[in-house]
Amino acid sequence: MDVNCGSYVQDHGASALQQGKITEQDINRALHNLFAVRMRLGLFNGDPRRNLYGDIGPDQVCTQEHQDLALEAAQDGIVLLKNDGGAGALPLSKPNVASLAVIGFNANDAIRLRGNYFGPPCVTVTPLQVLQGYVKDTSFVAGCNSAACNVTTIPEAVQAASSADSVVLFMGLDQDQEREEVDRLDLTLPGQQQTLIESVANAAKKPVILVLLCGGPVDVSFAKTNPKIGAILWAGYPGEAGGIAIAQVLFGEHNPGGRLPVTWYPQDFTRVPMTDMRMRADPATGYPGRTYRFYRGPTVFNFGYGLSYSKYSHRFATKPPPTSNVAGLKAVEATAGGMASYDVEAIGSETCDRLKFPAVVRVQNHGPMDGKHSVLVFMRWPNATDGSGRPASQLIGFQSLHLRATQTAHVEFEVSPCKHFSRATEDGRKVIDQGSHFVMVGEDEFEMSFMA
């Protein structure tokens, strides 16, 4: 690499050179590339402010278009993980919320919205500041001193919750728990956060709303199963417009459509050594595997999970022939179940192109709100535990579309069997197994088989 963001090369580069792990030619190549880019930027042609990018200032960075984009990114990144309580604890209704209690250390700290690797924001308002504009009678109690939550004001938080119509908790993590060069040792909320949340939920007049600000997953099984916690939102670190986006979701001005990009494991998963990076599960030793493709253990929330204020349905509008023929190919191996496999490289690019087919998905928003919705298409194998090394399921495509309430639309996916149906053998070759492959969207699926 030519650039090291940190001090690793500075600390260890000389030793690596002495041991012959890198050469002076490696260093010269990196320097050549670095200085070539700096020259192209005009950094050696006098005053950099007079060069091509030298006059970019806040008036260009902070245009309304860019601020609108920041809001859209924050909105799209919010994932609704739970919404219980009859018709749903969310969205809140302004006329029905005469008083609001906002509780949590993450509610009124603009820096925590930014996460890591950020520049100076154009305008930042905290969730508390935005919510005070929605509900005039809004009280605030931090509850914890920080994400570490080793100092609490639980009695004050309980008092505020018991006297308000609605309660929103802003909990989660911060950069003390998750940043570069820091490893999390637990998946639970730190310190006394759970105690605070449960105490507030027990004192509130009706089920509370829990908003999580954190980059990585947390085990909130206690909140998932607690009927006094009516809804859970995960907002990540949503940036400068995050406070606005969260408030819009809470009060139904934006219909959440985000999906989880990672599996949320339970706390028990921390017993797996972080140095054991095998993807596939090993039932003989109890090793559960990693990632949604291979993990065989319980989850808090699954990869791709996300609720909405609307109800959506999916089904395949077109389905390909149930059998694809790869005649003339010889099997390269047999799985533990005796099933034949065919080398993708031997199939060849021309045949692989011929095997591609479209899969058209009919999507309907049954209402009651307009919304942006992601359509996820997966591949699954019925015998992923037969020793073949197949994943249990695999995302093969996704598309996002905006649908009005009651609107129906069709989206098309190109399915490439050589790419999407293949698996890697132990020696790294890509092979397609003979037999059944299932393409899924929602609860609908179709089966395809390969035969020579």
Section 52-59 average pLDDT: 80
Q: Are 216 and 264 in contact (CB under 8 A)?
A: no
DSSP 293: H
Residue 330 amino acid letter: K
212, β-bridge pairs: 171, 234
Please report whether residue 304 resides in a domain.
no
Q: Are residues 255 and 185 in the same domain?
A: yes
Q: Are 228 and 204 in contact (CB under 8 A)?
A: yes
DSSP three-state, residue 365? strand
Nearest 5°: phi and psi at 64?
-60, -35
pLDDT of 93-140, one tens digit each? 999 999 999 999 999 999 889 888 888 899 889 999 999 999 999 999
Q: What CATH number is given to the structural domain containing 405?
A: 2.60.40.10
Tokens 């008036």 -> residue: 59
Residue 424, pLDDT score:
85
Asked which of 1-5, 111-115, 203-207, 313-317 is least confident by mean pLDDT, the reply is: 1-5
Selection from 9, 374, 422, 69 nearest residue 241 by Cα: 69
- Rounded Cα gap, residues 35 and 41, in angstroms: 10
Q: For residue 273, say if its preceding peptide bond is cis, omega within 30 degrees of 0.
A: no
Q: Are residues 225 and 344 in the same domain?
A: no
Q: Are 112 and 106 in contact (CB under 8 A)?
A: yes
Q: Are residues 73 and 24 in the same domain?
A: no
> How is the beta sheet containing 340-343 ordered, strand by strand?
333-334, 340-343, 430-433, 423-424
Residue 229, pLDDT score:
96
pLDDT of 407-444, one tens digit each? 999 999 999 989 998 888 888 888 888 888 899 999 99
- Rounded Cα gap, residues 14 and 19, in angstroms: 9
Residue 287, pLDDT score:
92
Q: Are residues 124 and 254 in the same domain?
A: yes
Residue 385, pLDDT score:
58
* Close Cβ partners of 215 (under 8 Å, ≥ 6 residues apart): 115, 116, 173, 178, 236, 237
Write down the mean pLDDT value for the chain: 90
Question: What are the start-end ranges of the E strands in 208-327?
Answer: 208-213, 229-234, 312-316, 323-325
Higher pLDDT, 423 or 366: 366
Residue 11, pLDDT score:
93
Q: Are residues 42 and 95 in the same domain?
A: no
Residue 331, pLDDT score:
56
Residue 1, pLDDT score:
79
pLDDT exceeds cutoff 60 at 348: yes
User: Which ranges in 143-288 belong to alpha helices (H)?
Assistant: 154-162, 193-203, 221-224, 242-250
Which helix (H) or strand (E) segment holds residue 261: the answer is none
- Rounded Cα gap, residues 123 and 68, in angstroms: 12
Confidence grade of residue 311 (pLDDT, cut at 50, 70, 90)? very high
Residue 320, pLDDT score:
74
Selection from 143, 132, 157, 165 nearest residue 243 by Cα: 132
Tokens 């320097």 -> residue: 31
pLDDT exceeds cutoff 80 at 81: yes
- Rounded Cα gap, residues 216 and 178, in angstroms: 8
Please report whether residue 298 resides in a domain.
no
Q: At what angle do helices 193-203 and 154-162 cross, to 10 degrees?
A: 30
Q: Are 91 and 246 in contact (CB under 8 A)?
A: no
Q: Are residues 43 and 110 in the same domain?
A: no
Q: Are residues 16 and 76 in the same domain?
A: no
User: Which ranges in 112-184 belong to alpha helices (H)?
Assistant: 127-134, 154-162
Confidence grade of residue 341 (pLDDT, cut at 50, 70, 90)? confident
Confidence grade of residue 86 (pLDDT, cut at 50, 70, 90)? low
Please report whether residue 285 resides in a domain.
no
Residue 58, pLDDT score:
82
Q: Are residues 42 and 71 in the same domain?
A: no
Nearest 5°: phi and psi at 210?
-110, 120
Radius of gyration of the chain (CA): 26
Higher pLDDT, 51 or 169: 169
Higher pLDDT, 227 or 387: 227
Q: What CATH number is given to the structural domain containing 74?
A: 3.40.50.1700
Please report whether residue 320 resides in a domain.
yes
Q: Are residues 46 and 65 in the same domain?
A: no
Higher pLDDT, 5 or 19: 19
Please report whether residue 110 resides in a domain.
yes
Q: Are residues 199 and 67 in the same domain?
A: yes
Please report whether residue 303 resides in a domain.
no
Residue 332, pLDDT score:
62
Section 339-365 average pLDDT: 89
Section 290-294 average pLDDT: 93
pLDDT exceeds cutoff 90 at 395: yes
> Domain count of the chain?
3
Selection from 152, 154, 213 nearest residue 178 by Cα: 213
Higher pLDDT, 50 or 395: 395
pLDDT of 224-272, one tens digit each? 999 999 999 999 999 999 999 999 999 999 999 999 999 999 999 999 9
Residue 351, pLDDT score:
86
- Rounded Cα gap, residues 352 and 277, in angstroms: 32
Range of the domain at 205: 60-271
Section 348-375 average pLDDT: 92
Residue 180, pLDDT score:
83
Confidence grade of residue 59 (pLDDT, cut at 50, 70, 90)? confident
pLDDT of 130-184, one tens digit each? 999 999 999 999 999 999 999 999 999 999 999 999 999 999 999 999 988 888 9
Q: Are residues 250 and 339 in the same domain?
A: no
- Rounded Cα gap, residues 46 and 25, in angstroms: 30
Please report whether residue 284 resides in a domain.
no
Please report whether residue 13 resides in a domain.
yes
